[in-house]
Amino acid sequence: MDRQLTSFERRLEILFILMRKNKCSMKDLAFHYSVSDRTIRRDILFLSRYAPICTKTGIDGGAFLMSGYRKELYLPLSIDEESLLLRLMPTVCENEQHLIATIINKYAMSKQST
């Protein structure tokens, strides 16, 4: 990672990782974010107050979302992601420019029209 995430950003990303993968080990999350297992356990404990996250110990253990949890949530584009897409627009064909503009309009935090 280029920069250190805030605990809020890391926790949101963990939630989205669990939504995408269904389960992830504490060790893998700790390695991914360059934090201790204990930090990840605190993050999971915090997130479990707001989402149905369970943990399981042992070889097949980790953190996972209970089945049936609504997975249609999304994170808005970060400023860096939006900036990258805007820089890429002139380098692609017109159809792809339209697609990038649609993505930016749909997911950008600034909600500015492109």
Q: Does residue 71 sit within a domain?
A: no
Query: Could you list the pLDDT tens digit for every one of the 114 residues in the chain?
Result: 456 889 998 998 898 888 888 789 999 999 999 999 999 999 999 999 988 899 999 888 899 988 776 655 666 788 888 899 999 999 999 999 999 988 888 777 665 544
Q: How many residues does the chain have?
A: 114
Is the residue at 113 inside a domain? Answer: yes
Number of domains present in the structure of the chain: 2
Find out whether 103 and 85 touch, Cβ atoms under 8 Å. Answer: yes
In this structure, the answer to whether residues 82 and 61 fall within a common structural domain is no
Instruction: Tell me the CATH number at 58.
Output: 1.10.10.10
DSSP string, the chain: --SPPPHHHHHHHHHHHHHHHSEE-HHHHHHHHT--HHHHHHHHHHHTTTS-EEEE-STT-EEEEPTT------PPBPHHHHHHHHHHGGGS-HHHHHHHHHHHHHHBSS----
| pTM (two decimals) | 0.61
